[in-house]
Structure 1
Amino acid sequence: CFEAGATELPNSGQTSCLIQHRANSSKTLLDTQDSVFSEQQWKCISQYGASVDAELPGFAQVLEKRRFGGIGNPTLEGSVVLGAGFGTTATRSLAAFGRQLGLQVHHCKQGKADGIPPFWAQLMNLTKSGHPGGPVGCLEASDALNFSEALSFGDDMLLDTPVAEHFLDLYAVSPRSKVILTDRDAEDWVKARLEWDESMAAPMHAPCGVKLAKMSADKAVRLYE
């Protein structure tokens, strides 16, 4: 899952892949791979891929080719808190709470180009706008990113877009991190998200420019669930 020379780390999580997924998906499309993910977590990722594939055919094939974490290396430190919940699920409140605790928080900075590190700017662009080369180009660009850079800016907590959309990549380089999943009713989330900004990405891993506004509300709800 990582570049040659990367150190594999054991992962104690055996009950969940820590991402939003439909629990009734039983079809498995992915094989267990050598990575920081446990066998149970890979099964969960596989089920997630199958559930999204039912809505967006071809997604699972893209997912199974991903090198989660890009060219980054996993770390034993695990001091960063990862937010697995999409934006508009009280992530602003969580960010405010983190700052009250004295934590340095990276919270969605879309539309604020000044002062954003190139890594975050590139990941945000891939998430919202995709890639000129289509899904294949986006896949290659994501695999070429060093997701370990996300841990190098002194942040204690990473939240919202594009963290949630690339949670698996960030968890792959920081498998000891604590994870907070913020959530809300799916139909309510879709409505609120579109009211906030119609350019928002669909609720899925690595949407690569797939827009929430370009799909039916029912499909968006199923993807979120």
Structure 2
Amino acid sequence: AGTTGTQTVAYALSLLGLRVVHFIELWDPWGRRNESFGDGSTEDLGKQMQMYRLWGVGRENMSFCLMKGNTLPFRKLEAVDAVFDSPFPEYSYDLIRAFPNARVVLTVREPSEWVEKRIASHTGAEAHFLRPCGVKLSSLPDPVGAKLFEATNDWVTCVGGPDRFLKIDVFKQNRDYDLWNQLM
């Protein structure tokens, strides 16, 4: 069901010894899935950050969604080394501000392919821009969704800065670089 390769890169980083959050699961170092993460307990990082409540916020309450995003406790992510997948891309600006020395790993693919795969494999996926607050990708014409994906990725590339930025396209054929070396 992949759309940009976040699962692949998250797993690879865990194999390199990092604690990685991908969506609602936590990968401990060396590729071990942390079964206690995402279980709704008081130790659940997603629950602590109140991220789960954001996914239920729709367009009918855009003001609440935007306000809620301003109050998320991003510093709680200090317990992990890397985060991937929704809702983290939607809060990339906040994450970059909360962790000014962090490296930014952006997984990408050709924008029109991304729209096609995202709609096909993620029913109800939100559009790809900062704080979409319930705007669904399927509600936009495909070219608009593709341009939003491209523009948001360009913005993250610019704000992330060249000294701490790594863009990875795991779908690109005939890559002339070694992904493992880039990640290390």
TM-score, with structure 2 as normaliser: 0.66
Q: Distance in 2 between matches of 1:218 and 1:125?
A: 29
Paired residues for 1:20-169 under 5 Å: 88-109=3-24, 113-115=38-40, 116-117=44-45, 118-120=47-49, 122-126=50-54, 128-130=55-57, 134-151=61-78, 154-169=79-94
For structure 1, which segment, 163-172 or 139-148, has the greater mean C-alpha deviation from structure 2 after superposition?
139-148
Whole-angstrom distance in 2 between the partners of 1:195 and 1:124 = 22
Give 1 or 2: higher helix fraction: 2
User: Is the contact made by 1:90 and 1:182 (CA closer than 8 Å) also made in structure 2?
Assistant: yes
Shift of 1:130: 2.0
The structure richer in strand per residue is: 2
Residues of 2 paired with 1:185 and 1:91: CA distance? 15
Give the CA deviation at 1:103: 1.0
Residue 222 (1) aligns with residue 160 (2)? no
Conserved 8 A contact 1:104-1:157:
yes
One-letter identity of the residue aligned with 2:86: T
Q: Distance in 2 between matches of 1:157 and 1:101?
A: 12
Once the two structures are superposed, residues 145-166 of structure 1 have per-residue CA deviations (whole angstroms, 9 ceiling, x without a partner) of 2221222xx2111111111111
For the aligned residue pairs, the C-alpha RMSD in angstroms reads 2.1
8 Å Cα contact 1:104-1:155 kept in structure 2: yes
* Mapped partners of 2:38, 2:84: distance in 1: 17
Partners in 2 of 1:172 and 1:209 — Cα distance?
23
Whole-Å separation in 2 of the counterparts to 1:182 and 1:189: 11
Aligned pairs for 1:164-179 within 5 A: 164-179=89-104
Deviations 1:52-99 (A, max 9, x none): xxxxxxxxxxxxxxxxxxxxxxxxxxxxxxxxxxx7211111011111
Alpha-carbon separation, structure 2, partners of 1:132 and 1:187: 25
Q: Secondary structure at the match of 1:181?
A: strand
Choose between structure 1 and 2 for higher RCO, CA contacts under 8 A separated by at least 6 residues: 1
Unaligned 5+ runs, structure 2? 26-36, 151-184
Distance 1:179 1:156 in 2: 11
Counterpart of 2:5, as a letter, is A
Distance 2:135 2:53 in 1: 12
Structure 1 stretches of 5 or more lacking a match?
A: 1-86
- Counterpart of 2:34 in structure 1 is none
Q: Distance in 2 between matches of 1:91 and 1:175?
A: 22
Counterparts of 1:105 and 1:146, CA distance in 2: 18
| DSSP 3-state at the match of 2:107 | coil
Aligned length: 134
- Sequence identity (%): 31
Give the conservation status (yes or no) of the 8 Å contact 1:204–1:223: yes
Deviation per CA, 1:3-39, whole angstroms, max 9, x where unpaired? xxxxxxxxxxxxxxxxxxxxxxxxxxxxxxxxxxxxx
What's the TM-score, normalizing by structure 1?
A: 0.54
Whichever residue aligns with residue 125 of structure 1, its letter is R
